[in-house]
């Protein structure tokens, strides 16, 4: 993942914490969102672009196009923060041959059918299985809401 500096799972995608704390602290010049549904919705894309900080480019892409761009080295020389809503997307990327960086889980809202593992992290059985798959692949997965919080291994909450 040449050009990438951080991977975050956050079902809110681009929002205040990402725009101010994470992107500034990581000195990113691009925020990439990978989500098929959001990439197909012009209104949602416009809202996310407005939430991004000034001077930070956005890429809001469906999974297959994003993976092709990553594998083609389109982000070499940049500082990209990748955000997805679900760990399931990251497992799909892994299966498509993308070598992932460590993953930070920021917020996964409590929804019907989820189990709460941490105040800000609730997962469906499919999402929990995806996190387990990432861990089994040797990918470090931490839970950390903001950069000042300690990065705690997600397995400590299971």
Catalytic-role residue among 12, 15, 92, 118:
15
By CB atoms closer than 10 A (0-12, 13-18, 19+), residue 59 is middle
- Decide if 15 is catalytic: yes
Q: Which residues are part of the catalytic machinery?
A: 15
């Amino acid at each position: 993942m040449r050009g990438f500096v951080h991977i975050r799972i956050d079902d809110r995608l681009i929002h205040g914490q990402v725009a101010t704390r994470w992107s500034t602290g990581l000195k990113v010049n691009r925020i990439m969102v990978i989500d098929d549904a959001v990439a197909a919705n012009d209104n949602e894309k416009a809202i996310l672009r407005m939430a991004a900080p000034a001077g930070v480019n956005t890429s809001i892409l469906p999974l297959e196009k994003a993976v092709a761009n990553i594998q083609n080295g389109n982000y070499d020389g940049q500082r990209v923060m990748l955000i997805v809503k679900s760990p399931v997307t990251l497992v799909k990327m892994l299966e498509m041959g993308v070598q992932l960086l460590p993953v930070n889980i920021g917020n996964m809202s409590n929804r019907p059918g989820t189990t709460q593992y941490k105040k800000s992290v609730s997962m469906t059985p499919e999402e929990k299985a995806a996190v387990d798959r990432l861990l089994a692949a040797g990918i470090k997965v931490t839970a950390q809401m903001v950069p000042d919080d300690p990065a705690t291994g997600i397995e400590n909450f299971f």
